Chains A and B, each alone.
Chain A
Amino acid sequence: MKKSEEKPRPKGRPKKTRRERMTTLIMQAPMTIWAALFIIAPFCLLAFMSFMTKGPLGSIQYTPTLDNYKEILNPVYADVIKQSLVVAGWTTTLTILMGYPLAGFIAKVKSKTSSLLTILLMLPLWVSGLVVLYSFVILLNNSGIINTILMKLHLLKEPLALLYNNFAIVVGMIYMFLPFAVLPMYSSIEKLDPGLIEASKDLGAGPVKTFCKVTLPLTSPGVFAAIILTFIPCIGYYMVTDMLGGGTSLMIGNLIYRQFTISRNWPFGAALSVVLAVIIFLMVFIYTKLGGDLDDLGA
Chain B
Amino acid sequence: GNDGSSPEEGGSASKGGTLNVLTWEGDVSDETVADFEEEYGVDVNITYVEDTNTILAKMLQGNSEYDVIDIESAYMKSFVDAELLAPLDYDKITNYENIDPVYVEKGAMGDEKLTYSLPITGPLYTGVVINKETCPIEIDSFEDLADPALEGQVWSTNATISLYAGALKALGYSPNSQDEKELNEAQALLQKIKPNIKAFGASSISSLETGECSVAYTYDYNILMFDDKANWDKFEIVPETTLGYCQYWTVAASSENQKLANEFINYTYSAESAIKLLNEWGGVPALKRELIEEGVAKDYFENPMLQEFADMWPDHEELSVSDEQTAIMDTLYNELMSGE
Give chain A's interface residues, CB within 8 Å of chain B.
Answer: 56-59, 76-77, 79-80, 83, 137, 141-144, 159, 161, 163-164, 242-243, 245-250, 255, 258, 260-266
Are A141 and B210 within 8 A (Cβ)? Answer: yes
Are B212 and A141 within 8 A (Cβ)? Answer: yes
A261 surroundings in chain B (CB, below 8 A): 50-51, 53-54, 57
| CB of B213, distance to nearest CB on chain A (Å) | 9
User: Within B198-216, which residues are at the interface with A (CB < 8 Å)?
Assistant: 198-201, 206-207, 210-212
Q: Contact check: which of A142, A242, A246 meets B211 at CB < 8 Å?
A: A142
Chosen A-B contacts, 10 in total, with CB atoms closer than 8 Å, are A59-B61, A76-B334, A76-B335, A79-B338, A137-B206, A164-B212, A248-B198, A248-B200, A260-B57, A264-B56
Q: Which of A245, A247, A260 has the most CB of B within 10 A?
A: A247
What class of interface size applies to chain B in its complex with A? 35 or more
Are A249 and B337 within 8 A (Cβ)? Answer: yes
Contact with A along B250-286 (1 / 0, CB 8 A): 0000000000000000000000000000000000000
- Is B39's CB within 8 Å of the partner chain A? no
Give the docked Cα–Cα distance between A181 and B330 (Å).
36
- What 9 pairs across the A-B complex have the smallest Cβ distances? A246-B199, A250-B337, A164-B199, A247-B200, A261-B54, A79-B338, A263-B330, A141-B210, A143-B210
B330 surroundings in chain A (CB, below 8 A): 258, 262-263, 265
A144 surroundings in chain B (CB, below 8 A): 210
Q: Given contact pairs A57-B82, A59-B60, A249-B339, enumerate 17 new A-B contacts (beta carbons under 8 Å).
A: A57-B81, A58-B323, A79-B338, A141-B212, A142-B210, A142-B212, A246-B201, A247-B199, A247-B200, A247-B337, A248-B199, A248-B200, A250-B338, A260-B54, A260-B57, A262-B51, A264-B60
Give the docked Cα–Cα distance between A96 and B10 (Å).
64
Are B339 and A79 within 8 A (Cβ)? Answer: yes
Give the docked Cα–Cα distance between A258 and B333 (Å).
11
Q: Who on chain B is nearest to A162 by CB?
A: B212
Give the docked Cα–Cα distance between A58 and B331 (Å).
15
Contacts A247-B201, A248-B197, A249-B338 given; does A58 touch B212 at CB 8 Å: no
| CB of B211, distance to nearest CB on chain A (Å) | 5
Q: Who on chain A is nearest to B198 by CB?
A: A164
| CB of B22, distance to nearest CB on chain A (Å) | 14
Q: Who on chain A is nearest to B336 by CB?
A: A250
Q: Who on chain B is nearest to A141 by CB?
A: B210
- Is B78's CB within 8 Å of the partner chain A? yes
Give the docked Cα–Cα distance between A114 and B154 (Å).
46
User: Within B109-142, which residues are at the interface with A (CB < 8 Å)?
Assistant: none
Are B81 and A249 within 8 A (Cβ)? Answer: no
Contacts A57-B60, A164-B212, A255-B334 given; does A264 touch B326 at CB 8 Å: yes
Q: Which of A143, A258, A265 has the most CB of B within 10 A?
A: A258
What DSSP secondary structure best describes chain B's contact surface? helix
Contact with A along B298-340 (1 / 0, CB 8 A): 0000000000000000000000000100110011001101111
- Is B5's CB within 8 Å of the partner chain A? no
B212 surroundings in chain A (CB, below 8 A): 141-142, 163-164
Q: Contact check: which of B53, B78, B81, B210 meets A262 at CB < 8 Å?
A: B53
Give the docked Cα–Cα distance between A206 and B120 (Å).
73
Are A83 and B56 within 8 A (Cβ)? Answer: no
| CB of B160, distance to nearest CB on chain A (Å) | 6
Q: Which of A79, A83, A248, A255 has the most CB of B within 10 A?
A: A248
- Is B239's CB within 8 Å of the partner chain A? no
B53 surroundings in chain A (CB, below 8 A): 58, 261-264
Are B207 and A141 within 8 A (Cβ)? Answer: yes
- Is B64's CB within 8 Å of the partner chain A? no
| CB of A112, distance to nearest CB on chain B (Å) | 42
| CB of A238, distance to nearest CB on chain B (Å) | 12
Q: Contact check: which of B50, B81, B331, B334 meets A250 at CB < 8 Å?
A: B334
Q: Contact check: which of A57, A262, A265, A266 meets B160 at CB < 8 Å?
A: A262
- Is B152's CB within 8 Å of the partner chain A? yes
Are A263 and B210 within 8 A (Cβ)? Answer: no
A243 surroundings in chain B (CB, below 8 A): 201
- Is B158's CB within 8 Å of the partner chain A? yes
Are B334 and A77 within 8 A (Cβ)? Answer: yes
B54 surroundings in chain A (CB, below 8 A): 260-262
B334 surroundings in chain A (CB, below 8 A): 76-77, 80, 250, 255
Are A265 and B327 within 8 A (Cβ)? Answer: yes
